[in-house]
Structure 1
Amino acid sequence: MSAMLMAVHTELSAAVAEWVAHDPDPASAAELAACDDDDLADRFARPLTFGTAGLRGPLRAGPNGMNLAVVLRATWGVAQVLGDHSPGSAIVVGYDARHRSAEFARASAEVFAAQGFSVSLMFCPVPTPVVAFAVRNIGAAAGVQITASHNPASDNGYKVYAAGGLQIVEPTDRDIEHAIAAAPPADQIPRTPVDHDGVEQVRSYLERAATVRRTSGSVRVALTPMHGVGGEFALDALALAGFGDVHVVESQFAPDPDFPTVTFPNPEEPGAADQLLALAADIDAEIAVALDPDADRCAVGVPTPAGWRMLTGDETGWLLGDYILSTHRSGAAVVASTVVSSRMLASIAADHGARHVETLTGFKWLARADDLDGTLVYAYEEAIGHCVDPAAVRDKDGISTAVLACDLVVALRDRGRTVLDALDDLARRHGVHTTTAVTRRVGSPQEAVEVMARLRSHAPVSLAGFDVSVTDLQPRTDALVFTGGDDTATVRVVTRPSGTEPKLKSYIEVRCTGELAAARARAEKSQSALAAEVPQWA
Structure 2
Amino acid sequence: MPVIDPRDWIADDPDPATRSELSALSPDQLAERFAENLHFGTAGLRGPVRAGPNGMNVAVVTRATWALGQWLIDHGHRGARVVVGRDARHGSRAFAKATAEVLAAQGFDVIVLAGTTPTPLVAFACRDTGAMAAVAVTASHNPPADNGYKVYVDGGAQIIPPADREIERLIESAPGANTVARQPVSPDDRSVRNTARYLDRLVERFGRVATPRVRIALTALHGVGGRIAVSALRRACFDDIHVVAGQFAPNPDFPTVAFPNPEEPGATDQVLALAQRVDADIAIALDPDADRCAIGTRVHGRWRMLTGDETGALLGAHLLATTTLTNPVVASTIVSGSLLAAVAASAGARHVTTLTGFKWLVRAGEPLLYAYEEAIGHCVDPAAVRDKDGIGAAVVAAMLTRHRVAMDSDLSAALDDLAVAHGVHVTAGRSIRVTDLDEITDLMAGLRRAPPTRLAGVAVGAHDYATRTDELRTDAVRLTGACADGTTVRVIARPSGTEPKLKYYIEVVAPPGRPDVEETTTRLRTLAADIAAALPDRSR
Q: TM-score, normalised by structure 1?
A: 0.95
- 1:489 maps to a residue whose letter is T
Q: Distance in 2 between matches of 1:277 and 1:262?
A: 14
Say whether 1:308 aligns with 2:300: no
Q: Distance in 2 between matches of 1:243 and 1:477?
A: 43
The more displaced of 465-474 and 145-154 is: 465-474
Q: Distance in 2 between matches of 1:522 and 1:252?
A: 36
Deviation sequence 1:75-104 (CA, Å, 0-9, x none): 000011111221111000000011121111
Show the counterpart of 2:240. Answer: 245
Show the counterpart of 1:235. Answer: 230
Say whether 1:519 aligns with 2:520: yes
Show the counterpart of 1:51. Answer: 41
Query: Any gaps of 5 or more consecutive residues in structure 1?
Result: 1-10
SS at match of 1:196: coil
Q: Distance in 1 between matches of 2:499 and 2:401?
A: 38
Q: Distance in 2 between matches of 1:81 and 1:488?
A: 53
The more displaced of 471-480 and 260-269 is: 471-480
Show the counterpart of 1:345. Answer: 340
Counterparts in 2 of 1:327-476, with a 5 A limit? 327-370=322-365, 374-474=366-466, 476=473
Q: Is the 8 A contact 1:215 1:411 kept in 2?
A: no
- 2:73 maps to a residue whose letter is G
SS at match of 1:377: strand
Q: Is the 8 A contact 1:144 1:158 kept in 2?
A: yes
Q: Distance in 2 between matches of 1:536 and 1:457?
A: 15
Q: Give the CA RMSD over aligned residues.
A: 1.6
SS at match of 1:510: strand
SS at match of 2:5: helix
Q: Distance in 1 between matches of 2:29 and 2:47?
A: 15
Q: Is the 8 A contact 1:434 1:511 kept in 2?
A: yes
Say whether 1:145 aligns with 2:145: no
Shift of 1:416: 1.7
Q: TM-score, normalised by structure 2?
A: 0.94
Q: Distance in 2 between matches of 1:451 and 1:66?
A: 31
SS at match of 2:147: strand
Q: Is the 8 A contact 1:212 1:400 kept in 2?
A: no
Show the counterpart of 1:182. Answer: 173
- 2:33 maps to a residue whose letter is R
Q: Distance in 2 between matches of 1:237 and 1:506?
A: 36
Q: Is the 8 A contact 2:456 2:531 kept in 1?
A: yes
Deviation sequence 1:6-27 (CA, Å, 0-9, x none): xxxxx99x82221111100011
Q: Distance in 2 between matches of 1:337 and 1:41?
A: 42
SS at match of 1:73: helix
Shift of 1:516: 2.7
Show the counterpart of 1:297. Answer: 292
Q: Distance in 1 between matches of 2:518 and 2:283?
A: 26
Show the counterpart of 1:5. Answer: none
- 2:6 maps to a residue whose letter is V
Say whether 1:165 aligns with 2:156: yes
Q: Distance in 2 between matches of 1:260 and 1:227?
A: 8
- 1:135 maps to a residue whose letter is C
2:507 counterpart (503, 509, 527): 509
SS at match of 1:474: helix
Q: Distance in 2 between matches of 1:297 and 1:531?
A: 26
Q: Is the 8 A contact 1:140 1:163 kept in 2?
A: yes
Shift of 1:518: 4.2
Counterparts in 2 of 1:57-206, with a 5 A limit? 57-85=47-75, 86-197=77-188, 198-206=191-199
Q: Distance in 1 between matches of 2:377 and 2:435?
A: 29
Show the counterpart of 1:3. Answer: none
Show the counterpart of 2:470. Answer: none
Say whether 1:36 aligns with 2:36: no
Distance 1:286 1:211, change over 3 A: farther
Q: Is the 8 A contact 2:14 2:178 kept in 1?
A: yes
Deviation sequence 1:317-346 (CA, Å, 0-9, x none): 010000000111231100000111001111
1:498 counterpart (468, 471, 496): 496
Q: Is the 8 A contact 1:496 1:505 kept in 2?
A: yes
Q: Is the 8 A contact 2:281 2:410 kept in 1?
A: no
Distance 1:159 1:369, change over 3 A: same
Say whether 1:213 aligns with 2:206: yes
Q: Distance in 2 between matches of 1:287 and 1:496?
A: 33
Q: Is the 8 A contact 1:314 1:341 kept in 2?
A: yes
The more displaced of 135-144 and 35-44 is: 35-44
Between Structure 1 and Structure 2, how many residues are aligned?
A: 524
Show the counterpart of 1:272. Answer: 267
The more displaced of 260-269 and 496-505 is: 496-505
Deviation sequence 1:243-262 (CA, Å, 0-9, x none): 11111111011111111111
Q: Distance in 2 between matches of 1:229 and 1:223?
A: 13
Q: Distance in 2 between matches of 1:501 and 1:38?
A: 24
Query: Any gaps of 5 or more consecutive residues in structure 2?
Result: 468-472
Identity within the alignment, %: 56
